[in-house]
Structure 1
């Protein structure tokens, strides 16, 4: 699970290089279709857990 979280944070930093990360919250276990990363209690990023779940992100 920690590997997924690190992968998501790396992706976020690549897409948003100016983002200042002071706090990270995550929910990688409860969601049926998505993993959630919350940066600084403000920015929410959802990642599909499965290929078929990608459709729900649009």
Structure 2
């Protein structure tokens, strides 16, 4: 969910790749939270895509 707008960007079942990863492209300069559910387990983490984010490309 985008914290600034409350918009849910992705709300669907996603199957991971053979290596266990799933990839998502998110717009630059947002803050939000991601929740993952699998069977009876749930995990959540906050994230941002701002300039100092670890996934932001170098200038």
The two structures have a TM-score, normalised by structure 2, of 0.29
> Which structure: greater helix fraction?
1
| Higher RCO (CA 8 Å, separation ≥ 6 residues) | 2
Larger radius of gyration: 2
The two structures have a TM-score, normalised by structure 1, of 0.29
